[in-house]
Structure 1
Amino acid sequence: MTARTNIACLGAGRMGRGIAVAFAYAGHAVTMIDVKARSAEDFARLEADALSEVRKTFASLARLGLLTDAQADTLIKRVSVVPANQDDAALSSAGLVFEGVPEVVELKREVLAAASKRVGRDTIIASTTSTILVDDLSGAIEHPGRFLNVHWLNPAYLIPLVEVSPGAATDPAVVDQVKALLEGIGKVPVVCAATPGFIVPRIQALAMNEAARMVEEGVASAEEIDKAIRYGFGFRYAVLGLLEFIDWGGGDILYYASRYLEGALGSDRYRAPEVISRNMQEGRIGLRTGAGFLDYSGLDVDAYRETRLKAMVDLLRHFGLARPPVLGGG
């Protein structure tokens, strides 16, 4: 793929529109392809709606200071919508094709199969599914070595993270190309196995359900729980990854806290996985032993801690919570 490869999106819905904004912002031409047979009148309405939303998104980014109104006018010209029966040029010129149709296996396989027959042999094809495993779709595609899942988090044009999930047949070189392309538009790709929930949806489903359960149990109000998440949970994990945080405090702390919560709340959903006790047995407790989930050997621990603490101070300033010290007697 070239640095400014053309992008095609199968589907002109929310995901296609978000991807179009992200790539157009970074200099790519993007064509959203309507995959549904429609009358000319119905297509005109879809086209107008899709382009209107993209235009509004660029206008919003301009108000937020990421671009000017004049630049927004330039960017919208990079985005187009074509009907299903006029997609030959878009598919034949695309370096990467994203599928973004509804989460129905049969529909996705049908759309992907048709597109794979009409793109170039070297064109990479990616599904954006949030629920269906890549290997459940790859059998519909000609040359499945160029197929993988690329899961965006909404809003796709803002959230940096993109989860890249290759299948059993995916060529490793294709993974590298996709990662490089995503990094080139300012995204942060992570590679994960083809497993239900990928990384973020799997973790956030647990957290969201637990927050809802606490409201149900009367632990705190929704407003108080959300305040705790913003200024405690989210605050820390904007700086430290979850596994890094385990190492920061020590895996043994998580082990004993998990045992207590499992007993006190009478639920095995708090039970620590075997890897926690195994790491303890092997002396991989975290920062204080030089290894945990991450390797800290040869690391200047004091400098590392200060770097992370500085990032937290920056967040305090962002939230308007950084205060000068109170000096003098009271």
Structure 2
Amino acid sequence: MPVPGTGDGQAQNVPEDGAVQVAVVGAGRMGRGIAIAFAAVGSTVTLVDAKPRDAAGLATLRAAALAEIAADLAFLVDLGLIDPSGAGAALARVAFAGRDEARDALGSAAIVFEGVPETIAAKRDAFAFICAHAGPDCIIASTTSTIDPDELAPLITGPERFLNAHWLNPAYLMPLVELAPASGTAAPVVERLKQVLQAAGKVPIVCRNAPGYIVPRIQALAMNEAARIVEEGIASAEDVDLAVRTGFGLRFAVLGLLEFIDWGGGDILYHASHFLSDKIDAGRFAAPQVVARNMEGNRRGLRDGEGFYDYRGMDTDSYRAQRLGDFVALLRLRGLVPPFASGAAVT
């Protein structure tokens, strides 16, 4: 496994010829965010509503979707992330199509993202509609955060071109996209979608098609534990969130969770897990076997030269300095640097 932070998984610049034709079936918040993500970097996008609607209902949805996209682009202008002309050009690259208008958009798309509600019935209808019109070489990607891609692949004509692409909200700002191929997904399809996402400034990672993928699985545990702390009267909601914003979140914005284990030492997690298992709940806090195996093999992390990552042969002093420098930059951004240089005594 490579040392963290050495370039793997970093988003690339958008190439001059990197624009692709994209369609998004599902005109809700996720679909609108994906449309912005691609349109803002030069791709043409059609936002497709596949539900049967009357003319008035379709016109209302069209107006609402395009108004929200325009407002989000205006927000990016206010933040200085895109200039007004760029925002206008991005908006012009987004088209909206109802069910009866979508044939051409789906037929010419290189990639179609499905973003309908999280039910098999809704997915089945959407994929039947997509497969009826999309070209045979079109990549088809669901955006589900919960459903196993192998459950959805049989719904696709040509399932080798299908995989899951789990975006995080807001899709136009969050870099990460979790790619989960189905068992029969062709390897070139995964690689092509990775390239397209990287060209759009995203950071795609590939994981096995397991429930919860990576981020939803981790955040479900963290959010439930935060709620339990409030429920048990240990701290207020305000103080729990303050602890996350000024402690938990800051550290893990710089060090990944596994990297953090290596940084402090896997033995710390091992003993802390045993303590919490004994005092609170054995099921929730038991350490996985990999932590025990690493301890037994003297692979406790940075100080042993091995842990979840391999640090042998690297300049660990430079690595530490880089990570701490990134952490200080984040503290500065948040206005949280301690007053080291003030010379004033703490009273």
TM-score band, normalised by shorter chain: over 0.9
Which of residues 301, 323, 328 in structure 2 aligns to 1:286?
301
In the alignment, which residue of structure 2 is the partner of 1:63?
78
CA contact (8 A) 2:254 2:327 kept: yes
Partner secondary structure for residue 132 of structure 1: coil
Q: 2:285 aligns with which of 270, 292, 297?
A: 270
Is 1:251 the counterpart of 2:257 in the alignment? Answer: no
CA contact (8 A) 2:259 2:309 kept: yes
The one-letter code matched in structure 2 to 1:110 is D
Shift of 1:118: 2.0
Instruction: Please tell me whether the aligned partners of residues 40 and 86 of structure 2 are also in contact (alpha carbons under 8 angstroms).
Output: no
1:96-107 to 2 correspondences below 5 Å = 96-107=111-122
Residue of 158, 162, 175 corresponding to 2:173: 158
| Stretches (4+) displaced over 4 A | none
Q: Which residue of 1 aligns with 2:13?
A: none
Partner of 2:256: 241
| 1:122 CA drift (Å) | 1.0
Show the counterpart of 2:69.
54
Shift of 1:34: 1.0
Residue equivalent to 1:6 = 21
C-alpha separation in 1, matches of 2:38 and 2:344:
55
Deviations 1:219-264 (A, max 9, x none): 1111111111011100100000000000001111110010011112
* Residue identity opposite 1:121 in structure 2: P
Residues paired across the two proteins, number: 329
Q: How far off its partner does 1:70 sit? A: 2.7
Q: Which moved more, 1:260-269 or 1:168-177?
A: 260-269
Residue 176 of structure 1 corresponds to 191
Q: Secondary structure at the match of 1:18?
A: helix
Gaps of 5+ in 1: none
Instruction: Tell me the CA shift for residue 4 of structure 1.
Output: 1.0
Of residues 126, 131, 150, the one that matches 2:141 is 126
d(CA) in 1 for partners of 2:211, 2:250: 27
- 1:324 is displaced (CA, Å) by 4.3
- Quick one: distance in 1 between partners of 2:158 and 2:21? 20
Which residue in 1 is equivalent to 2:217?
A: 202
Q: 1:41 aligns to what SS in structure 2?
A: helix
Which residue of structure 2 aligns with residue 325 of structure 1?
A: 341
Equivalent runs, 1:212-231 vs 2, <5 Å: 212-231=227-246
Cα separation, partners in 2 of 1:276 and 1:69, compared to 1, 3 Å: same
Aligned AA (1:273) = P
- What secondary structure sits across from 2:261 in the alignment? helix
- Displacement of 1:270 in angstroms is 0.5
Structure 1 residues 118-176: Cα deviation after superposition (integer angstroms, max 9, x where no partner): 21111100000111110101001111111000000001111111100001000111111
Name the SS of the counterpart of 1:284 in structure 2: coil
Q: SS of the counterpart of 2:110?
A: strand
Instruction: Kindly provide the amino acid, as one letter, of the partner of residue 156 in structure 2.
Output: I
CA distance in 2, matches of 1:318, 1:217: 34
Query: How far off its partner does 1:329 sit?
Result: 8.2
CA–CA distance in 1 between the matches of 2:343 and 2:228? Answer: 44
Contact 1:110–1:140, Cα closer than 8 Å, also in 2: no
- Separation (CA, whole Å) in 2 of partners of 1:11 and 1:272: 40
One-letter identity of the residue aligned with 2:135: G
The residue number in structure 2 matching 1:114 is 129
- 1:327 is displaced (CA, Å) by 3.6
The code of the aligned residue for 2:57 comes to D
Q: Of the candidates 26, 41, 50, which is equivalent to residue 41 of structure 2? A: 26
TM-score by length of 2: 0.92
Q: What's the secondary structure of 2:157's corresponding residue?
A: coil
Q: Which residue of 1 aligns with 2:323?
A: 308
Tell me: higher relative CO, structure 1 or 2? Use CA pairs within 8 A at least 6 residues apart: 2
Q: Quick one: which amino acid aligns to residue 168 of structure 2? A: L
The answer to whether structure 1 residue 36 and structure 2 residue 51 are counterparts is yes
Q: What's the % identity of the aligned pairs? A: 53
Q: Larger deviation: 104-113 or 93-102?
A: 104-113
Secondary structure of 2:201's aligned partner? coil
> Letter of the aligned partner of 1:70 in structure 2?
S
